Amino acid sequence: MGDTLLTVTDLTMRFGGLTAVNALSFNAKRGDITAVIGPNGAGKTTVFNCITGFYKPTSGSISIAHTAGASMLLNKLPGHAIAKKGRVARTFQNIRLFGGMTVLENLLVAQHNELQAATGFGVLAILGIGKYRAAEKAAIDRAKHWLAATNLIDRADDPAASLPYGAQRRLEIARAMCTDPVLLCLDEPAAGLNPRESQALNDLLLKIRADGCSLLLIEHDMGVVMKISDHIIVLDHGKKIADGTPVEIRNDAAVISAYLGEGDDDDPDAPIAETLAAAE
Amino acid sequence: MRHLADNIKDSLIVGGVAFLLFGPFLGLQLTDGTNGNLALATRPVLLAIAVGLSIAARFLLLLWQDHRATRVPAVKLAAAVTKSGKYVAPALLIFAITLPLIPGIDNSYVDLGVLIMTYVMLGWGLNIVVGLAGLLDLGYVAFYAVGAYSFALLSHYFNFTFWECLPLCGILAAAWGIFLGFPVLRLRGDYLAIVTLAFGEIIRLVITNWVSLTGGPNGIYDIPHPTLFGLTFDMAGGPGTVSNFFHIDPDPSQRTTYLYYIILALALLTNWVTLRLRRQPLGRAWEALREDEIACRSLGINLRNTKLTAFAIGAMFGGFAGCFFATRQAFISPDSFTFIESATVLAIVVLGGAGSQLGVALAAIVMIGVPALLQDLQIYRMLIFGIALVTIMVVRPRGFISTRTPSVSLGKAKIISSDMISEGHG
**pLDDT, tens digit, 9 for 90 and up, residues B257-294:** 889 999 999 999 999 999 988 988 999 999 999 999 89
Torsion angle, alpha carbons of B237, B240, B246, B247, to 10: 40
Average pLDDT, chain A: 85
What lies within 8 Å, CB to CB, of A198 at 6+ separation is A190, A221, A223, A224
- Distance CA(B105)–CA(B98), nearest Å, equals 11
Average pLDDT, chain B: 86
**Which tens digits make up the pLDDT trace of B104-115?**
788 888 889 999
Residue A31, beta-bridge partner list: none
- Distance CA(B275)–CA(B405), nearest Å, equals 11
For residue B322, the model assigns a pLDDT of 94
- Distance CA(B144)–CA(B132), nearest Å, equals 20
Torsion angle, alpha carbons of B224, B230, B234, B239, to 10: 140
The phi, psi pair for B92, rounded to 5°, reads -60, -40
- Distance CA(B202)–CA(B143), nearest Å, equals 12
Cβ contact (<8 Å) for B420 and A162? yes
A279: pLDDT strictly greater than 60: no
The answer to which of A9-23, A117-131, A137-151, B219-233 has the lowest mean pLDDT is A117-131
Strands A4-15 and A59-64: antiparallel
The answer to which of A205-214, B192-201, B209-218, B388-397 has the lowest mean pLDDT is B388-397
Q: Alpha carbon of B105 to those of B123, B250, B252: distances in Å?
A: 26, 17, 13
For residue A280, the model assigns a pLDDT of 45
Given a contact cutoff of 8 angstroms between Cβ atoms, the answer to whether B290 and B132 are in contact is: yes
Nearest to A64 by CA among A30, A114, A35: A30
A49 to chain B, closest Cα gap in Å: 10
Cβ contact (<8 Å) for B280 and A96? no
Torsion angle, alpha carbons of A7, A9, A15, A16, to 10: -170
What is the rounded average pLDDT of the residues A44-67? 89
Cβ contact (<8 Å) for B420 and A157? no
Interface test mutation site (partner B, options A49, A109, A133, A187, max chain B beta carbons within 10 A): A109
The phi, psi pair for A166, rounded to 5°, reads -60, -40
- Distance CA(A194)–CA(B300), nearest Å, equals 31
Give the SS3 label for residue A5.
strand
Residue B392, beta-bridge partner list: none
For residue B270, the model assigns a pLDDT of 94
- Residue A251: pLDDT band (50, 70, 90) is confident
The reply to whether A134 touches chain B by the CB within 8 Å rule is no
- Distance CA(B37)–CA(B41), nearest Å, equals 13
Give the SS3 label for residue B222.
coil
- Distance CA(B18)–CA(B47), nearest Å, equals 9
Alpha helices, DSSP H only, in chain A?
44-51, 81-84, 103-110, 112-117, 123-127, 132-149, 165-177, 195-210, 222-228, 246-250, 253-260, 270-279
For residue B204, the model assigns a pLDDT of 92
For residue B221, the model assigns a pLDDT of 87
Give the SS3 label for residue B38.
strand
**Which tens digits make up the pLDDT trace of B312-321?**
999 999 999 9
Q: Which residue of A has its CA nearest to B407?
A: A105
Task: Say how many CA atoms lie within 13 Å of A73 toward its Cβ.
Answer: 10
- Distance CA(A152)–CA(A47), nearest Å, equals 31
Cβ contact (<8 Å) for B422 and A99? yes
Q: Which residue of B has its CA nearest to A115?
A: B281
A220: pLDDT strictly greater than 90: no
Cα B29 off chain centre by: 40
Residue B40, beta-bridge partner list: B30
Given a contact cutoff of 8 angstroms between Cβ atoms, the answer to whether B396 and B159 are in contact is: no
Chain A residues within 8 A of B289 when measuring between CB atoms: none
What is the rounded average pLDDT of the residues A108-134? 79
**Which tens digits make up the pLDDT trace of A57-99?**
999 989 888 887 778 888 888 878 888 888 899 999 889 999 8
What is the rounded average pLDDT of the residues B77-97? 76
Task: Give chain B's length.
Answer: 426
The answer to which of B18-22, B228-232, B359-363 has the lowest mean pLDDT is B228-232
What is the rounded average pLDDT of the residues A160-188? 91
